Structure 1
Amino acid sequence: MSLRPIRSEADYDVALEEVERLWGAKSGTPEGDRLDVLATLIEVYETKHYPMDPPDPIEAIRFRMEQQGLTRKDLEPMIGPRNRVADILNRKRGLSIDMIRHLHEQLGISAEVLIRPSRFDKVA
């Protein structure tokens, strides 16, 4: 396969197969360079054709908690008392601007993600 932009699903499939074949190639070798270029082309194609919505703010907080081994208690300095943390994580209450600032600064979660409306689950 010659290197060229990925313009169709067929091109995309061929590029993925080539990446699979080249996977593990050493950096700085012709195969490694080809792998890098193909990965970049695939990323551009996927960004254009398979855009991903930013995550839900609560899911982002839960994900970061899992990544960093945090408990609900660890969120109290950023969100407030235990019952407020529970309300936020159970989607009974929205994030305030101050909470968003603290979570962004202390957990490194994108402010763009945190300001999005959370999908409030209805509790029966």
Structure 2
Amino acid sequence: MLLKPIRDEQEYDMALQEVDRLMELNPPIGSKESDELEVLVLLIEKYEEENWAISEPDPIEAIKIRMQQMNLKQKDLVPYIGNRSKVSELLNRKISLSLSMITKLSSGLHLPLETLIQPPKRA
């Protein structure tokens, strides 16, 4: 197969079929087929990132989603944020997350640090 950038769904599907074919061969590392497989996977990943990237929610949305999942109320966030008014200000985007809040929320609500440290979107 001629290796080139994947530009549309048809080329994407053909690349996936070729990956399946090459994986069934189980080529030894360093072989021509193994190298082709590796490059194809990189091309597929690039195409998927450009066309189907799923953005993470901003920190405030992530907190709200987790609150729903865990059936939490605003008062349940007091141990992580401070007091009730601070929780309300944070959820209404009037104040930003501090480093202390980020570490406590990450640990207590099992949210990825990467999600909490990104800048919040403005409402």
TM-score, normalising length from structure 2? Answer: 0.62
Write out aligned runs for 1:5-20 (5 A): 7=6, 8-10=8-10
Corresponding residue for residue 32 of structure 1: none
Equivalent of 1:73 in 72, 75, 87: 75
Question: CA-to-partner distance for each residue in 1:21-79, whole Å, 9 max, x for gaps?
Answer: xxxxxxxxxxxxxxxxxxxx9x9563453212221100000000000101101100000
For 1:98, give the aligned amino acid.
S
> Over aligned residue pairs, what C-alpha RMSD do you find?
2.5
Instruction: Count the aligned residue pairs.
Output: 90
Structure 1: gaps spanning 5 or more residues: 1-6, 15-40
For 1:66 and 1:92, how far apart are their aligned partners in 2?
21
Partner of 1:83: 85
Percent of counterpart pairs with the same letter?
A: 43
Structure 1 or 2, whichever has the larger Rg, is 2
Deviation of 1:9 after TM superposition, in Å, equals 1.2
Name the amino acid aligned to 1:9: E
Unpaired segments of 5 or more residues in structure 2?
A: 1-5, 15-40
Counterpart code for 1:90 = N
Tell me how far apart the structure 1 counterparts of residues 78 and 65 of structure 2 sit (CA, whole Å): 17
- Pairwise CA distance, 1:11: 5.9
Q: Distance in 1 between matches of 2:85 and 2:13?
A: 50
Q: Matches of 2:122 and 2:115 in 1, distance apart?
A: 15
* 4+ long deviations beyond 6 Å: none
1:108 equivalent in structure 2: 110
What residue is the counterpart of 2:24 in the other structure?
A: none
Take 1:111 and 1:62, find their aligned partners in 2: how far apart are those partners? 15
